[in-house]
């Protein structure tokens, strides 16, 4: 599985924009990411396990409704930061 | 001896902005300032605080438009930052549990608004307050944080019906630790009021007698007020001041009724504003920056003529201090955490504007000069004494 990391989170991945991921659900993928990149999960998922308001997850280019969504080893998971600057 | 009165220290002014943090390192005379920054360009930096117990630990409350809230820590003036391993967060709610965020959803911290070093006898202890209102404590220098149950699950649910639609979201702010008693705390909530604990946050009681709340239909409510900024005097902690949405107040404990000292400001100026700061050694001297609170609450310099007001008699009388500030056509807004005093003699004062100007006075407000402009919107200004 590939996980595409958006630029605002590159400080966690050492500047890497695509990292390998493992897990049967997005939640498990995030737990795995947080193990390797401590702190990354809380920046995109709140303490109630909700995706933060300006973050979206896409699995194979289809938007995920929540982190319970199942994923497979051949999937592409893309984390998107919606526009919220200004 | 330098004019600071502290031979081996200098001032660093820590500025939190909508787009990052900036550090201004002063020379011993506070005449020249060296800018270091931006740190975390693009991040929203709500507050920075220096630990006076060691003079070098710096905590920063940050977030971005996209990413959740966190706290960064530096012990080398920003050369390196370490993120909190466990930032302030509310407990995970049980499935189906009723929420407490005003929308009946389980609470999540939107941002950390305020940071306060703990008592001098408790090294490593820090306090943080948040939006939505929450109070958190760290015992390891800001690396990990735990919620204060008596506040987050006691005070906040009880007053939740009063927590109104505050611009930027409802916040807990002004966490004050009594220098004479580490268990004695005050916290302000906008809106909600001022609350006091004498048992390290286990239990709380409202402390709002005498404070106006003209936006609440109930006369003289016990809570629901809108304190903007609360301060206590470090050498006489029984003396508190606070700038409220509805006026300017002083309280001398053990009394529990606030006196509206803002009535002594010129009526044409009024006593509405956000920040307030005390003289570090004189409990009777305090500074405020009145802003227009009329009509639709523009919250800009009254008449477009910015001025700081100083009282040297605990609020009985006030002196206008505007030498060096723009004389007209200056519609400045100064947020509640954007006014600070250093510990020098004479005291230095610093304030930042939402239009990105950083002003300072090395003469206790008698004259002002601009030390930076074109910064992003300034959220907070904190002057720290740095050992050299």
Residue A52 and residue B68: Cβ atoms within 8 Å?
A: yes
Radius of gyration from C-alpha coordinates of chain A: 12
| Domain housing A73 | 2-81
Q: Which residues of B touch A (CB under 8 A)?
A: 42, 64-68, 70, 83-85, 87, 89-93, 105-109
* Mutate which: A7, A13, A33, A46, vs B, most B CBs within 10 A: A46
pTM for the model stands at 0.94
Contact B176, B127 (CB under 8 A): no
Asked casually if ipTM beats, i.e. exceeds, 0.90, the reply is no
Residue A47: inside a domain, yes or no? yes
- pLDDT tens, chain B, 388 aa long: 344 444 578 999 999 999 999 999 999 999 999 999 999 999 999 999 999 999 899 999 999 888 999 999 999 999 999 999 999 999 998 876 666 555 567 899 999 999 999 999 999 999 999 999 999 999 999 999 999 999 999 999 988 877 666 667 799 999 999 999 999 999 999 989 999 999 999 999 999 999 999 888 888 899 999 999 999 999 999 999 999 999 999 999 999 999 999 999 999 999 999 999 999 999 999 999 999 988 888 999 999 999 999 999 999 999 999 999 999 999 999 999 999 999 999 999 999 999 999 999 999 999 999 999 999 999 999 999 987 7
Tally of CB atoms within 10 A around B387: 10
Task: Output the CA angle A10-A15-A16, nearest 5 degrees.
Answer: 95
Residue B89 and residue A50: Cβ atoms within 8 Å?
A: no
Q: Chain-wide mean pLDDT for chain B?
A: 93
Residue A86: inside a domain, yes or no? no
Residue A62: inside a domain, yes or no? yes
Residues of chain A positioned with their CB less than 8 A from the CB of B108: 46-48, 50
Structure tokens at B66: 């996209």
Per-residue pLDDT reduced to its tens digit, B245-304: 999 999 999 999 999 999 999 999 999 999 999 999 999 999 999 999 888 889 999 999
- Please name which of B243, B232, B313, B240 lies closest in space to residue B271, comparing C-alpha atoms: B243
Residue A52 and residue B109: Cβ atoms within 8 Å?
A: no
Separation of alpha carbons B5 and B344, rounded Å: 6
The domain spanning residue A51 has which CATH number? Answer: 3.10.20.30
Residue A81 and residue B93: Cβ atoms within 8 Å?
A: no
Residue A35: inside a domain, yes or no? yes
Residue A32: its H or E element: helix A26-36
Contact B131, B171 (CB under 8 A): yes
- Per the structure, the count of domains in chain A is 1
Residue A65: inside a domain, yes or no? yes
Interface check for A40 against chain B (CB to CB < 8 A): the answer is: no
DSSP secondary structure of A7-65:
GGGHHHHTT-SEEE---SBHHHHHHHHHHHSTTHHHHHB-TTSPBPTTEEEEETTEE-S
């Amino acid at each position: 599985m590939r996980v595409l990391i958006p630029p605002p989170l590159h400080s966690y991945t050492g500047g890497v924009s695509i990292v390998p991921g493992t897990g049967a659900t997005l939640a498990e993928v995030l737990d795995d990411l947080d193990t390797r990149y401590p702190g990354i999960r809380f920046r995109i998922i709140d303490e109630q396990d909700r995706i933060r308001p300006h973050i979206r997850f896409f699995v194979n280019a289809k938007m995920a409704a929540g982190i319970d969504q199942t994923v497979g080893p051949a999937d592409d998971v893309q984390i998107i930061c919606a526009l919220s600057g200004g | 001896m330098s004019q600071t009165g502290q031979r081996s220290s200098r001032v660093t002014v820590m500025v939190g902005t909508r787009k990052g943090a900036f550090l201004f390192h002063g020379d011993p005379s506070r005449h020249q300032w060296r800018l270091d920054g931006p740190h975390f360009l693009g991040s929203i930096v709500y507050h920075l605080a220096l630990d006076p117990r060691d003079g070098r630990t710096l905590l920063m409350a940050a977030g971005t438009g996209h990413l959740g809230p966190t706290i960064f820590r530096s012990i080398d003036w920003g050369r390196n930052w370490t993120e909190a391993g466990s930032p302030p967060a509310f407990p995970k709610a049980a499935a189906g549990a009723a929420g407490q965020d005003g929308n009946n959803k389980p609470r999540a911290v939107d941002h950390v608004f305020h940071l306060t070093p703990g008592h001098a006898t408790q090294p490593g202890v820090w306090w943080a307050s948040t939006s939505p209102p929450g109070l958190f404590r760290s015992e390891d220098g800001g690396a990990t944080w735990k919620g204060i149950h008596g506040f987050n699950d006691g005070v906040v649910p009880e007053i939740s019906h009063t927590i109104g639609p505050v611009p930027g979201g409802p916040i807990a702010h002004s966490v004050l630790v009594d220098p004479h008693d580490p268990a004695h705390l005050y916290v302000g909530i906008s809106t909600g009021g001022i609350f006091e604990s004498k048992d390290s946050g286990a239990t709380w009681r409202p402390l709002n007698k005498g404070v106006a709340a003209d936006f609440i239909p109930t006369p003289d409510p016990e809570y629901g007020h809108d304190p903007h900024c609360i301060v206590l005097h470090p050498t006489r902690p029984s003396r508190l001041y606070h700038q409220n949405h509805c006026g300017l107040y002083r309280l001398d404990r053990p009394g529990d009724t606030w006196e509206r000292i803002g009535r002594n400001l010129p009526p044409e100026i009024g006593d509405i504003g956000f920040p307030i700061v005390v003289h570090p050694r004189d409990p009777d001297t305090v500074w405020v920056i009145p802003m227009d609170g009329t009509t639709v609450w523009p919250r800009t310099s009254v008449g477009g003529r910015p001025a700081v007001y100083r009282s040297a008699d605990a609020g009985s009388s006030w002196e206008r201090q505007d030498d060096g500030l723009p004389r007209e056509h200056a519609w400045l807004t100064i947020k509640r955490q954007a006014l600070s005093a250093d510990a020098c003699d004479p005291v230095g004062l610093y304030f930042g504007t939402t239009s990105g100007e950083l002003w300072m006075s090395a003469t206790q407000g008698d004259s002002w000069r601009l030390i930076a402009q074109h910064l992003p919107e300034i959220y907070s200004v904190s002057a720290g004494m740095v050992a050299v």
